[in-house]
Structure 1
């Protein structure tokens, strides 16, 4: 099943994990939306610099440190995704509790590993 995914913290730099994740998600034919500080494209995915009220986001995968996530708590919760993935370095117990309070699942995992092991 294809899972529409929003990558938050998307980067145009090819060596960044968010950039690699966008490419890998597309390799597996998952629809991808991306939000970052600089607009541009990663393959066929446009990186938006404004918060958009996307429809039917299954998964949000985070590439922001916990302090920077705070500005996006309400936005992510408003999207009502099925789950939020906290990639290495993004672990955030404060946000876990907010997600629990809003009945949104979360995983502390690496998107790239989940994809590579067929667990995405």
Structure 2
């Protein structure tokens, strides 16, 4: 799989699924789009429309994860974590393919 999820991230994502009462068919869609201050931005959303021909679909601890094949090229080896502290909380991408990233943590260049 192109991307790994930490135990903390999976726990938080399952919490979101329960709180938002998402259907069992919903998969976590992780992707990359052009934009942001460094060239690319990470995308993270739940999606019920997974295309097995266009997406790589895996399951992590009962959580379905979909990554489109184009994004998989930029996300190979990336770890999705969840961080919570007094200063900030949210999902963090640790991408070994990023040659530069911005201060916000949601934009990078490869």
TM-score (norm. length: structure 2): 0.30
Instruction: Give the strand-richer structure, 1 or 2.
Output: 2
TM-score by length of 1: 0.28
Q: Larger relative contact order (C-alpha < 8 A, sep ≥ 6)?
A: 2
User: Counting helix residues as a fraction of each chain, which structure ranks higher?
Assistant: 1
